[in-house]
Chain A
Amino acid sequence: MTEERVNVFKLHFIVLILVALTELIGTKKINIGIGVIALFPMLYALILGGFISWPKFKWLKEKEMNAAANILGLSFFLFICKLGANIGPELPKLMGSGVSLLFQEVGHIVGTIALGLPIALLIGLKREAIGATYSLDREPNLAIIVDKFGANSPEARGALGVYICGTLFGAIYMSILASLLGSSGIFHPISLAMGAAVGSGSMMAAATGSLAVIFPDAAKDIAFYSGAANLMMSIIGTYVCIFVSLPLTQRLYKWLEPIIGRKSKNIQEGGQHSA
């Protein structure tokens, strides 16, 4: 622990103020034509927090931001605990959805790779594409990639890139996506709730939050099924990543790269830094 000198109470105090302020503003729904977008306290809190931590203002030190990221993990534990407590009383209901729960997990893998890899290759990524598209690239996935390819590999660079984008605007993007998919009327709220369990705390919180606002009557079901899907992912997710999605992405890369990969050799691929 190198964060001993960080005054975490300052962080907690800012969060307390942000929570009080944003909960006071409350939820708003905006119709943007193609669907309803739900604006709610956690999104204001994210944006205001991002504003406060904007490096130019120098209100927060880098160490404090790292401490905030650590506390974020702990705050997600309470959220997870609440989701578990929602499942307990209705355990039998869970048994009836076992097959769907397993298959949504398959959907999470197929989705990142099937949609991500071809597009990554089409716009000119090389081996970066493997790291970038084999999973949602949160902390455990980064660890898997670094372990296998090394921190300075193109694969790790791709994974880190998606990781950074996820941290910066994943939650906002997920909440918009959840709002649009939810108000499109194509999907049942329960399916969407399972889809929302993407394996990232802040993205999942934002997506389930949007769904709960769009479908107020199904709020309990949304918490139930996203909680169950998240539990499923946290139990088998790492193994699926190591034994299924990474080898699958590598194989598809070998096959697809010569077909749709860009020919030019000297494309600038983002940061030269390592993890």
Chain B
Amino acid sequence: MNQVLTILLIGVIALVGNWIGYHVPPTESLPGILLLALITLIGMGFTRILPFKSPVIVWISLFAMIATSPFFPGNAFTAAAIGKINLLALATPILAYAGLSLGKDIHLFKQLSWRIVVVSLVVFTGTFLFATLFAEAIFKIQGKF
């Protein structure tokens, strides 16, 4: 129940962000936000009733894909409603909560050596850069770009 309320509250916050940042009036965003919240909650519930452990985001992604795919009833309405919600309006609350949680790790950070900080930056760079390189190479080989 707690999580349902939290999802809805985050939805309201995204609604406000979508309004202020991307000038979509709340009345126009509301159906999209409600659909996003609904699919998310279905995905969370589904993961819980499954007999085996699996990542929630797989099911949420999958259900969102199915609900908006051309063969699902009402897909045009669902896709159009969710299309009104700007992706970045959903990302801002994520990083705001991330910001509010930063303080708890600062004392741990002070105990780390500079070495691990350097290695972290290299690891972040490596994963992004190489995945980009590999994707680019395959697209080039396939002649897509």
Binding site for B on A (CB under 8 A): 1, 8, 11-12, 14-16, 18-20, 22-24, 26, 40-43, 45-55, 60, 62, 64-66, 68-69, 71-72, 74-89, 91, 96-97, 99-101, 103-108, 110-116, 119-120, 123-125, 128-129, 132-133, 136-137, 140, 158, 160-162, 164-168, 170-171, 173-174, 177-178, 181, 187-188, 190-192, 194-199, 201-203, 205-209, 212, 219, 223, 227, 229-231, 234-235, 238, 268-273
B92–A45 contact, CB under 8 A? Answer: yes
The CA-CA distance from A22 to B13 in the complex, in Å, is: 12
CB pair B79 A88 closer than 8 Å: yes
CA distance in complex: A173, B113 (Å) = 19
Knowing that A107-B131, A205-B91 touch, tell me 18 more A-B residue pairs with CB under 8 angstroms: A14-B96, A16-B16, A20-B20, A26-B21, A40-B88, A45-B92, A55-B107, A79-B87, A83-B64, A84-B68, A89-B68, A103-B137, A104-B134, A106-B134, A116-B119, A133-B119, A177-B125, A235-B55
CB atoms of B95 and A206 under 8 A apart: yes
Whether the pair A15, B134 counts as a contact (CB closer than 8 A) is no
* Inter-chain contact B115/A125, CB cutoff 8 Å: yes
Task: Tell whether, in the assembled complex, residue A84 and residue B127 are in contact, meaning their CB atoms are under 8 Å apart.
Answer: no
Kindly identify, within residues 76 to 128 of chain B, every residue whose CB is under 8 Å from any CB belonging to chain A: 78-79, 82-83, 85, 87-109, 111-113, 115-128
Q: How far is the CA of A230 from the CA of B131 in the complex (A)?
A: 12
- When A19-B13, A177-B125 are in contact, do A202 and B95 touch as well, CB less than 8 Å? yes
CB pair A194–B94 under 8 Å, yes or no, is: no
Residues of B contacting A: mostly: helix
Residues of B within 8 A of A51 (CB): 99
A-B contact count (CB 8 A): 431
- Does A209 contact B88, Cβ atoms closer than 8 Å? yes
Cβ contact within 8 Å between B132 and A195:
yes
Cβ-defined contact, A80 with B68, below 8 A: no
**Which residues of B lie under 8 Å from residue A43 when comparing CB positions?**
95
Assess whether B21 is in contact with A41, with CB atoms less than 8 Å apart. yes
Chain B residues whose CB sits within 8 angstroms of the CB of A46 once the complex forms: 95-96, 98-99, 102
Contact of B88 among A16, A41, A77, A168 (CB under 8 A): A41
**CB-defined contacts of B136 to chain A, threshold 8 Å:** 187-188, 191
A200 to chain B, nearest CB (A): 9
Inter-subunit contact A99/B118 (CB<8 Å): no
The distance from the CB of B98 to the nearest CB of chain A, in whole angstroms, is 4
Asked if A85 contacts B17 (CB within 8 A), the reply is no
Closest to A47 in B: B99
* A105 touches which of B17, B58, B131 (Cβ 8 Å): B131
Say yes or no: A235-B58 contact (C-beta < 8 A), given A8-B6, A71-B6, A103-B138: yes
A128→B73 CA distance, assembly (Å): 52
Distance in angstroms from B57 CB to nearest chain A CB is 5
Known: A43-B95, A81-B40. A12 touches B9 (CB 8 A): yes
Q: Kindly list chain A residues whose C-beta atoms are within 8 Å of the C-beta of B55.
A: 140, 234-235, 238
B62 and A84 contacting across the interface, CB-CB below 8 Å: yes
Instruction: Name A82's contact: one of B2, B9, B90, B97 (CB within 8 Å).
Output: B90
Asked whether A132 lies within 8 Å of B97 as measured between CB atoms, the reply is no
Beta-carbon contact of B123 and A132 below 8 Å: yes
**Cross-chain contact of A165 among B67, B72, B82, B117 (Cβ < 8 A):** B117
Is there an interface contact between A15 and B97, defined as CB atoms closer than 8 Å?
yes
- The answer to whether B99 touches A52, judged by C-beta atoms less than 8 angstroms apart, is yes
- C-alpha gap A115/B118 in the complex (Å): 12
Whether A85 touches B128, Cβ cut-off 8 Å, given contacts A12-B13, A133-B123, A234-B57, is no
